[in-house]
Each structure stands twice: as C-alpha cells, then as structure tokens.
Structure 1
C-alpha cells in the first residue's frame, strides 16, 4: 500500500486526515447556519438555504477554505464562531501512534493543509499537533489551494521535496489527483475522515485506508533513514 523504503518526505493533510473532520462538518453545516439565522433573524431552514449554496459554490477554491472571505461575505466572525465549538476538535484514531512511528523513521513529516491560519492556530492550540511534525504549510501562504496544479511547484519554496521520494496523505481525492499530476510518487487516501459519517468509497487508482493502524506496522518495520547528524 505504501513503499516506505522509497520515501524521504511525507506530506500530511490535517482536517479529515490527522484531525476528525466532524468538527468542520458540524461547523459549516450546522453551527454556522444556526448562528447566521440568529444574526439575521431567520429560521434555521432559511439560513441553511442561503448559506449552504454559497459555500458549495466555492468548493475547491481558496475561498472555500478562507475564514477572512467568509467573515466578509457573511458579516460574521467566522474564527470566533469556530472557537464556540472548539471542544469538537480532536484527533482521528491512531494518529499519534502513526506520527511517533513516522518521526522514529526519520522521514520528514510536513502538514500541508488548506486550513486558513486563524482556525489552524485554534486547532494547534487544542491539539498540540505541531509538536508531532517537522513543519506546517497552509495553502494560504502560497495563495493557491492544494487542488491547484501550480500549488505543488510553489510548495517547494516552503517545504523543499523530491517528488519521487514523497508521499501525500489526504482525505480529498481531488487533492490527491492534483498531487499525482504534479509528480508526487505515492498517494494514500483516508476513507473515514468524519467519525460521525460513513466511510468514502475506495478510489479506483489511489490506495486507501480507514485508519492509520493499517500502515503503522509496515512503517515500524522499515529501516529508519540515516541520521543527518
């Protein structure tokens, strides 16, 4: 499923891959429409009918992920509203064990996320996730979403990598397809990103896992890279 011996760098999505996507699903589909209804004196149904189509129209673009954009578009403090339900932020199963094994293997681990820096800060404060990886890059630093083919070339400026020795792990098939087109040699899909929802179907060409315990044994058995010290 993953040829660990051929890898030097592992790029990891955050939401739906390392963290439970339930937080984001709940926020965008339930909490935000409810707070929008409260703010504009609408029924919950009216609010959802207005907000959800606006959100879905931006799917795959950088605006889709941008809290500044939605704060201005909806005249609401999106980051503040996310903090209201911050107790729902949490790890997916086996993630900490996987990150420990990855660090022990001496392969470079970098979170590559479309998450805006403001909610990213909130999630790191809640989880300490940044303590378990070598780096974090938000697509907002590059002005392009991961779905954009040019994203991967620009990523070299913030997280240099060799495409032929790199793995990308993500719950988004469009992102993984974008990474493959950019030459990333190995891709792995997370099929169960949201703990409250059914798993996604397997991609015909991209291998997938439900949880990281499916790949931890092989990672631990793979000899670590030589120390750079």
Structure 2
C-alpha cells in the first residue's frame, strides 16, 4: 500500500510503464536489423548480430538512446521509420483511469523518459497521454540518462520538486536504484513492461504487474 497523503508528485517512465515496451523491442530488435539487411544485401542473421554488437558497445549511454546516432551509423531513415511504427503505440491497461484518479487528487504528474525527444513526440501523437502531465521530459535535455546519478539532481531542480514527497514508477531496476540513491523517497517497479515477455523480478523495490493495484489503493 502507498501512503498517497505523503506524495505530491509522481514521475512516470514511458516505455514499459505507460505504453507497451513491445513497440520499441520490435522496432530495434527486428525492424531495424531487417531493414538494414535489406539495404546492405546481407542475410538477416549476420546483420542482426552486427547490430546487436553495436547496441552493446554503447548500451544505456546517452548515445544509445539517440536515434540520430543510429540513423547516421546505419544510414537508415530512423525518424521516418519511427513515425510510421508509432502508429502501433499501445497504452497499458489501467493507465488512463489511474492518471485521471491522480489528477482528481491534485497530484503533480510528470513524464520522464530516456526516449529521444522526437520518439517521445511521435508516441504522444499516437495516444492521449500528454494532457495528463504537467511536463513531458526527455533525459536528452539534461544530457544524462536515467541510469546516471547526476540526472536526478538536475530533474529535481528543473521541476522544483521535493524528492521526499515524490514517487517514481519505472520498469528498470537500475533506474530505480539511482533515483533511490539520490533521495527519491518512493519507488515502484513494473514487472510486465513487455506484453510479449514473462514478468521480471525486482529485488530492491516494491513492484506491481499492472495498475489495478494502484487504482485499488487510491479507492481504498
């Protein structure tokens, strides 16, 4: 149970928290390698292995989240590909009722994502989420990903929020770890970010499989 009386602000992750992570997983793990293979005239398996190594080389760095870096590296129209693929954006069950309920309680709602600002915008263009949030933030504007400790103090200052009265909801345990080590009072993990994958486990933070649990705590 969450003591909502002690929380003024809720920070929401985007991919895997508010929308199904399967959208991004398919895009980067299947669509991009296959499109690259078609362009290069190589077999899909070879291209997939090559791209996976490129991903691993800079995983979770700011460059890793930069779609323009990948457009240049792979010589692919990543922005146009994302614009088309974002038509498949799927908001997770229970998201809209939860956001509406939190708004009625006068909670400050902020979206904080590692997605590139362009990716964030095209996803928002294909769902009705943006109106619920006071701010839509990409870590790119702070030049640090959410797994970087320095990002959190910048977010606190930018949003003028009190971390002692803030809840972060995210599907990545290392992100929750960083926030917690930077005075975030409340953290909550999402165990089912990708509808096509089995649930994962959080070791250091409370977690939920869906938003019905939070809705129940609000009504209770």
In which range does the TM-score fall when normalised by the shorter chain? over 0.9
2:47 and 2:88 map into 1 onto residues whose CA distance is 22
2:84 and 2:124 map into 1 onto residues whose CA distance is 16
Moved over 3 A (4+): none
Report the 3-state secondary structure (helix = DSSP H, G, I; strand = E; otherwise coil) of the residue aligned with 1:70.
helix
Q: Are 2:39 and 1:39 aligned?
A: yes
1:16–1:190 CA contact under 8 A, matched in 2: yes
The one-character-per-residue Cα deviations of 1:24-73 (angstroms, maximum 9, x if unpaired) are 00001100000111111111111101111111222221112111111122
1:103–1:133 CA contact under 8 A, matched in 2: no
The one-character-per-residue Cα deviations of 1:67-108 (angstroms, maximum 9, x if unpaired) are 111112211121211223223211011111111111111110
1:135 and 1:176 map into 2 onto residues whose CA distance is 20
Task: Report the alpha carbon displacement of residue 171 of structure 1 after superposing the two structures with TM.
Answer: 0.2
Corresponding residue for 1:210? Answer: 209
| Higher deviation after alignment, 11-20 or 87-96 | 87-96
1:112 and 1:119 map into 2 onto residues whose CA distance is 13
Aligned length: 220
Report the 3-state secondary structure (helix = DSSP H, G, I; strand = E; otherwise coil) of the residue aligned with 1:199.
coil
Aligned in 2, Cα 1:169/1:37: closer, same or farther, shift over 3 Å? same
2:15 and 2:2 map into 1 onto residues whose CA distance is 21
2:151 and 2:71 map into 1 onto residues whose CA distance is 24
Q: What TM-score, normalized to structure 2?
A: 0.96
Q: How does 1:31-70 map to 2 (within 5 A)?
A: 31-70=31-70
Q: What TM-score, normalized to structure 1?
A: 0.93
2:76 and 2:2 map into 1 onto residues whose CA distance is 43
Corresponding residue for 2:12? Answer: 12
Corresponding residue for 1:124? Answer: 124
Q: Are 2:166 and 1:175 aligned?
A: no
1:172 and 1:204 map into 2 onto residues whose CA distance is 11
Q: Are 2:113 and 1:113 aligned?
A: yes
2:156–2:163 CA contact under 8 A, matched in 1: no
Corresponding residue for 1:84? Answer: 84
1:62–1:143 CA contact under 8 A, matched in 2: yes
Task: Report the alpha carbon displacement of residue 127 of structure 1 after superposing the two structures with TM.
Answer: 0.5
Report the 3-state secondary structure (helix = DSSP H, G, I; strand = E; otherwise coil) of the residue aligned with 1:175.
helix
Stretches of structure 2 lacking an aligned partner (at least 5 in a row): none
Q: How does 1:138-149 map to 2 (within 5 A)?
A: 138-149=138-149
2:12–2:110 CA contact under 8 A, matched in 1: yes
Corresponding residue for 1:98? Answer: 98
